Structure 1
């Protein structure tokens, strides 16, 4: 079940962090770099981030979440996280599909992921996102930038 998360609540931010940290540790292994800003987030950082959050719950437990910001008709996806215990169950697909359907007035969706994160790249490609560019953003850390236009 997908539900809105009030990320300004400390309890909710801690729940999200408990999913985010292990999820991004897996990405860090995939891309060969632990210089990923979400690995340094605290509950206070999440509470102040200004992003819209939705969570995927399995038997009452937060299994994954997506967050984004809106700027006019552009939806900028900031986080797509699934706890490793819930990998390969279609949770990221469900969350992405939910946002794509929910944000009916968006003309464009944008997202970035680690260039070596094959599962994330495949998810976005499967959902009609086009690769715009790959760019090294720090020594040894390259990101892939995607967009999907309506």
Structure 2
């Protein structure tokens, strides 16, 4: 079941943070970079975030979520998180499809590590293309992926 997550509520933010830490810890190992900012967040930073969070629940438990910021026909995907026990079971695809259907005439973009091939492959499967590459201050390679509304 997909639902909007009220991240300003303490218990919800706590659940978001716990899931995020599990997922991003696994990603950090995959990309060999443990400086992912989301790993250092707190319940309070989740509560005060201006992002919109949408969660996927299985048997009453939050197992995945997507978060984004929307502004003037542009939507930045800021987080796409799946519990490691549920990787490669379609949860990320289901959330991404849900979001894309809600924002049909919107430029949607996301940042990810150039080393995160599973994420890049997922975005490519939904019509995203790499629009640019850059490096973080620590030299870690990143990509920006975009999907325009004209994609069919």
The TM-score, its normalising length taken from structure 2, stands at: 0.95
Moved over 2 A (4+): none
1:62-93 Cα distance to aligned partner (Å, 9 max, x none): 00000000011001100000010111110000
Unaligned runs of 5+ in 1: none
Q: Which residue number in structure 1 is paired with residue 140 of structure 2?
A: 141
- The residue aligned with 1:74 is 74
RMSD across aligned positions (CA): 0.9
Size of the aligned set, in residue pairs, is 149
1:31 matched to 2:31? The reply is: yes
Are 1:130 and 2:129 an aligned pair?
yes
SS for the counterpart of 2:115 is coil
Cα separation, 2, equivalents of 1:87 and 1:117 = 14
Equivalent-residue separation in structure 2 for 1:62 and 1:112 (angstroms): 23
**Cross-structure match for 1:91:** 91
Provide the C-alpha distance between the structure 1 equivalents of 2:32 and 2:19, rounded to a whole number of angstroms: 20
Map of 2:56 onto structure 1: 56
SS of 2:136 mapped into structure 1 = strand
